[in-house]
Amino acid sequence: MQITHEQARRLIQLNADQSLYPSEKYQLSAHLKDCSACHDYAEEINELEGVLRPIMKRLWGQTPLPLSIHDLRVRSYAKRQSSLILATRSALIGAVCLAFLFSAWQFMRFGGDMSGPLQVGVSAVPLPATHSTNTASLFESCGAMHYTVQETDTLESIAHQFGISQDELIVFNQMRTQRVSTGMTLMVPTCNFTPTSTLGPSLFTETYIPLGSPTTSTPGSY
């Protein structure tokens, strides 16, 4: 089969790459016998290759300085080990930082909260029956006391004495009226309580009842 000049030149190039099929070699050979232009082209490519190879060999055909094998081995494995050490160290530092951040977060979240789960319940100090002076004890947690109404007492005066509102007394004792009678016993709620006046020993029962305690009886009588 006849090939064109362009096809012949392409085959000449592929021949220089040693990539011709046998059938293509045959076609090219046949064309070059009859085509002087393509024959000259093939000669030019051969001449070029004849100049290229020796000049490259002359310029770059040197031998290298021999490498030190021991040095290569030490440096390549030292690098591998140092990479491993660096990776381990980075992982440890990362873990320590994470632990520190977590602890800081926990402290900020729970550290200032005195009523949190770690706090120990503070038991209220019961008020002894004999003390009743200006230095009456303070109750740190809420509770209730029994108070016996005196002759001159009113709901307002009792509330004032205990530093609470009349409404608190009414609600606490589930009173239907504001009337109090002499000898009546009222339950007085006490949270951080400091009595405003001297109270007689008979005014208080000996029992301090913490709010919510199963022993808390129904508040006062009315």
Partner 1 sequence: MKVFTSSRVNPVEGMTVTNPSWLISECIAGNEVAIEMFVRQYETSVFRLALSIVGDSAEANEITQETFLSALRSLPKYEEKRSLKAWLYTIALNYSRSHLRKRKILERLKTTLTGIFQLEAQKQASPEDAMITNEKEAAVWTSLNELDERYRIVIILRYFHELSIAEIAEILGISEGTIHSRLHNAREKLRNALNHLHGE
Rule CB under 8 A: choose which of 21, 25, 48, 93 binds partner 1: 48
Half-sphere exposure of 142 (CA within 13 A, CB side): 9
In which residue are the tokens 């029956």 written?
129
Nearest to 209 by CA among 194, 188, 195: 188
User: Encoding tokens for residue 153?
Assistant: 């007492």
60 binds partner 1 (CB under 8 A): yes
Rule CB under 8 A: choose which of 52, 86, 98, 99 binds partner 1: 52
CA distance 148 to 199: 11
CA distance 190 to 204: 12
Q: Which is nearer to partner 1, 33 or 75 (CB)?
A: 75
φ, ψ at 182 (rounded to 5°): -60, 135
Give helix then strand counts, H and E, for the chain: 6, 3
As beta bridge partners, residue 210 has 143
Nearest to 175 by CA among 183, 184, 160: 184
Specify the stretch interacting with partner 1 by CB under 8 A; choose among 21-29, 45-53, 107-115, 152-160. 45-53
79 binds partner 1 (CB under 8 A): yes
Residues 6+ apart with CB under 8 A from 41: 8, 9, 12
How many residues bind partner 1, per CB under 8 A? 38
| Least spacing, CB of residue 28 vs partner 1, in Å | 15
211 binds partner 1 (CB under 8 A): no
Q: How many CB atoms lie within 10 A of CB 156?
A: 13
Q: What is the per-residue binding string for partner 1 in 159-188, x denoting contact by CB under 8 A?
A: ------------------------------
Specify the stretch interacting with partner 1 by CB under 8 A; choose among 66-74, 147-155, 161-169, 176-184. 66-74
Rule CB under 8 A: choose which of 55, 114, 118, 120 binds partner 1: 55
63 binds partner 1 (CB under 8 A): yes
87 binds partner 1 (CB under 8 A): no
Rule CB under 8 A: choose which of 5, 25, 33, 53 binds partner 1: 53
Binding site for partner 1 (CB under 8 A): 10, 13-14, 16-19, 44-45, 47-49, 51-67, 69-70, 72-73, 75-77, 79-80
